[in-house]
Each structure stands twice: as structure tokens, then as C-alpha cells.
Amino acid sequence: MFAKRIESIRPFIVMEVLEKALEMEHNGIDIIHMEIGEPDFETPKRIVEGCFTDLGQGKTHYTHSLGMLELREALSKYKEKTRSTRFDPKTQFMITGGTSPAFFNVFSVLLNPGDEVIIADPGYPCYQNFARFFGAKPIYLPIMEEDKFDLDVGVLKKLISPKTKAIILNSPSNPTGQIISRESLDEISMIVKENDFWIISDEIYAELTYNGEIAPSLSEKDYKSCHNRLVVLDGFSKFWAMTGWRLGYVIAPPNLIGAMTPVQQNFSICAPSISQSAAIHALTCTEETKNMLDVYKDRRDYVVNFLNKLKGINCLVPNGAFYAFANIKELGISSISFCMTLLENARVAACPGASFGPNGEGYVRFSYTTGKNNIRKGMERLESFLENIN
């Protein structure tokens, strides 16, 4: 007999699409991968070469459970530069083995059975599974295309109850690629002051924006009055092309970091030391990340322009991340059926919107984390596929 809690964990549909696509590839079928949110770039050489030096110096041992102080200090300076706010590197940072373990650690401390967590719909599907694992209830906040997928704070207010323990923000968003407006953040900051719950801000895509500025955040100095209830989760996977290095971090008030520390010590001990060394080097890679972002922007423009020329599909221009969230409602087919048929018949892997929540139905997420030639092939195959089903 397995633990009852595992019954609440729902499958991660994008992984099911990926596994099906990999099985087809194993059988010799050429697949265009636009389903997974993993950068196709190699980790910048400066990071890799720096790590070789660190390995030679024997930096392969346990670190402080909160992470290397050198890294926490570097992150504190980085956040002060990008957010104009200084967070104490000794008491307000915890380095983790990716943002998923960070979520696990935060929720293990914050959530009790019966608590409610407000989650954007559509939104990253793992959020609801984290909440359910600890006995909490996900409350879905509909995010509408007519609002350019920004938060409707009026609707948010109606969802808040005495059981609300946390609201999760993700900007830029997975799957929509849209950024929460500063006007919405202004209103949310006022709500935090009036209520006793936490804001958990997932900022893994914060630097992946196309207007030349980092996405606005409640971690900025203008919102300092709500920092005693703010938890920022971030990491190095996306912007620095370091998915396999598995490194993330939490910024939170000292009392929350203190409560999380025994969890980290018992379940993780510490984040991988060599990955922490890599992160220190990553924070110096300004030119490398700019070059990658320029490539993503070019791909975004190509994908969105192509999608908007297709019959039965329309797509808002994403302001961040590396996803195009295309509306397929005119086609009259479910997003799961669409993606599975697209994979089987056109050999293009994409992610059904239904996997991101009930309000994601009628959409398909295309990830442009593959080369331009692959993207071109994928879009051409999609066009032929639509011609055959229309």
C-alpha cells in the first residue's frame, strides 16, 4: 500500500508528450521538439571553464546548508543591482537544488492541511501538485486572453478567504509568456498589507524579457512594506542555460529561512557545491545572456508571426519567457487531442493548454527553445497538418 498523499499528484502532461516523442524518435521517426521548456543553448563557456578551475581547487565538499556565503553575497549584490533592494546574504537567502526543491521546502514550512493556495489558471502545473502534496487546496484564478493574460485583481480579491495561506505569482508566465503589470503589482501589494497570507513570486523567467527591462517584481524597493510576507523563488536554469546544474534559491524573511533550515539540513543537506560555484561565474555572463536573449527574440517573432497567419489559430505576442501560447478554439478540438494528433501525424511535439489548468483548454503552448531551422520545419509541418484537418 502506497501513501495516500501520492494519490493527489497528477501526471505532468508535458512529460508524457515528451516521453511519447522520444519513443517515436527511438523508432526512427524525426520529431520537432517544441514541447519542453529547456534552453537549447550550451551553458556559457565562462561558467564551465570556471568550474574546471574550481574542481581543480577541490571545491567538491558540503557547503553551509544555506549555500556558499560567497554565492549568497553575489546574489545579494545582483538583486540590489536589478531590484534596488538589499537582502541580507546571511539571513535571507537559501540556495537549493533547483526551484522545485525550493517550492517543496517553502510549502513544507507554510502549508497545513486545509489551507488554500491561489494559483493562476493557466499556470505552471506543478504548483497545484505541490499544494496538494501537503494537504492544501489549489484555488484557481482565471487568467484571460482578453486581459492579455494579466491578473484581474478584482477576481483575485473574491477568491481570498480566511483559509488563504499563499498566492503564487509567476512573471513572465509559464505558459503564456506574459508579464504581470506594475498596476496589478501595486494593487496586490496593498492586498498583502490588509491580509495575513504569503506572496510566493516565481521569478525563474524574470530576466527573459523582450523590452530591455527585467520583469517588475514585488521584491523591488517600492514594495518594501510587503517584504515581510514575500517569498521569491529563482534559479539559473532558464536565463543562464543551466537546467542540468540544478540550482535555485529562495529569498525570504529571516524567520522563514530559519524555519526552512532544518528541512534543508535533513532532506537535502545542501545544494551541489560545484553548481554553486558555477552560479557565481554565471552572474558575470552579461554578454552571453544578451546574445541568447537576442536569439530568443528572433525566434519568438518568427513563431508568433507564422502562427497568426494560420487559419483557426491566433497568438498574443509573449513579452517574456520562451513560449507562444496559441489559441486553437476555432478548430473545435481539445488541446490534448490536437497535440497528440499533431505529434502522431505531423511529428511536431507541443504541449496542450489543458495541462496548465481548466482555463488553459483551447490553447497549445509552443516552446521556441530549439534552432531556427527546426522551428521553421515545425511551423511548416503544423501548417500542412491544419490544411488536412480543416
pLDDT for residue 1 is more than 90: no
Q: Please, is 329 exposed, middle or buried when counting C-beta atoms within 10 Å of its C-beta (0-12, 13-18, 19+)?
A: middle
pLDDT score at 102: 97
Confidence of residue 378 (pLDDT cuts 50, 70, 90): very high
pLDDT score at 390: 64
pLDDT for residue 251 is more than 90: yes
Confidence of residue 49 (pLDDT cuts 50, 70, 90): very high
Dist. CA 84–CA 161, nearest whole Å: 33
Average pLDDT over residues 4-33: 87
Average pLDDT over residues 196-211: 97
SS3 88: coil
Name the CATH code of domain 4-43+287-389 (choices 3.40.640.10, 4.10.80.400, 3.40.50.300, 3.90.1150.10). 3.90.1150.10
Q: Where in the chain is the domain with CATH 3.40.640.10?
A: 60-284
At 163-201, the pLDDT tens digits run 999 999 999 999 999 999 999 999 999 999 888 899 999
pLDDT for residue 226 is more than 80: yes
**Cell numbers 496593498 correspond to what residue?**
190
Class of domain 60-284: alpha beta
Dist. CA 390–CA 377, nearest whole Å: 20
Average pLDDT over residues 123-137: 94
pLDDT score at 15: 81
pLDDT score at 194: 87
Confidence of residue 3 (pLDDT cuts 50, 70, 90): confident
Q: Where in the chain is the domain with CATH 3.90.1150.10?
A: 4-43+287-389
Average pLDDT over residues 17-41: 94
pLDDT score at 333: 95
pLDDT score at 193: 87
Q: Pick the closest to residue 382 from 355, 331, 347 (CA basis).
A: 347
Q: What is the pTM of this model?
A: 0.95
